[in-house]
Amino acid sequence: GYNALIYLAAMQTIPHELYEAAALDGAGRWRRFRHVTVPGLRPALAFTGLVSTIGAVQLFGEPLLFSSGAGASGGADHQYQTLGLYLYEQGWVNLHLGRAAAIAWAMLLLLVVLFGLVRLARGRGVR
């Protein structure tokens, strides 16, 4: 729902004149979507992608509820285990603190690379 509201707000900021101009130039529905709507939504797509990825990396409490017993496995067969829960399991359940630190650094690197890709895509999308 959160992302849908952001997309709706972003779609309302795209000037209707751009759609009219594209239609006068002979663009069909698909070309108007590809050349008017998607570039207008690019900042919202980048923002929601980044925020959703950060939220997915931080997901912890819900999978922890599915752990059977005292561990933090994320389900009987680790089917609900996320990166945050895996970090917790390695560091505080199994006491492999070095491995947990490496997982934390990998999570940080993943988010920094994703942020860099979003910045690169935003810079390239401006015409």
Please tell me the pTM assigned to this model. 0.68
* 125 within 8 A of 42, measured Cβ to Cβ: yes
Tokens in use for 79? 């089917």
Residue 69: is its pLDDT beyond 50? yes
- What is the per-residue pLDDT for 68? 63
**CA-CA distance, 77 to 84, in Å (whole number)?**
17
Looking at per-residue pLDDT, the higher value among 29 and 50 belongs to 29
